[in-house]
Amino acid sequence: MDRIPCLVSIDSDLSEDKTLSHGSFEATSERIRFTWSTKEEEEGLPDMKFLLTYQVKEKALRLSRRGATESDMLFQLGEKTEGVIRTSHGDFDLELATQELSFFEDGTDTHTTIEGQTYLVKTGRLTYDLCFAGQEPMRNHMTFHVHIAENSDI
């Protein structure tokens, strides 16, 4: 499985940042994986690094973040799972209830041109309820866009 350079962008109800980030992408019939880095919001901190792994057969997604704040979350369609967010202020356990989970479904690919380069855009969707202990759940919709240069062999 070869890693292919890509650009990643995410639309999320919980974040307004729609930056294109450089990353890498790899896929087999069993697993989709991509990584990317973004700048920390606070000046002087190292970049945030993300790893997303989607297990196709199990319809399970693991999303990890490393940086000043760290998190590990597992999403499984129709299931409640647990996750954790680690910050300088302490660890926060959370519960995740996954409502929608689909990655790179047939017929959903699009194309776009960025700075003269044409990209195949593959899309993943995730809808879940995020609940911190003792609080009401927050619904989040996320759309992951993986931009792969047209001259890449996928």
Taking only the tens place, the pLDDT of each residue in 11-24 is 998 877 778 999 99
Q: What pLDDT score does 46 carry?
A: 79
Q: What pLDDT score does 107 carry?
A: 83
> CB under 8 Å, gap of 24 or more: what pairs does 137-141 form?
137/97, 138/14, 139/13, 139/99, 140/12, 140/13, 140/14, 141/11, 141/12, 141/13, 141/100
The reported pTM is: 0.87
Whose tokens are 């202990």? That residue is: 133
Q: pLDDT tens for the chain, 154 residues: list them.
A: 688 999 999 999 887 777 899 999 999 999 999 999 988 777 777 789 999 999 999 999 999 999 989 999 999 999 999 999 999 999 999 999 999 999 998 888 999 999 889 999 999 999 999 999 889 999 999 999 999 988 754 4
Q: What pLDDT score does 154 carry?
A: 46
What domains sit in the chain, N to C, each tagged with a CATH number?
4-149 (2.40.128.20)
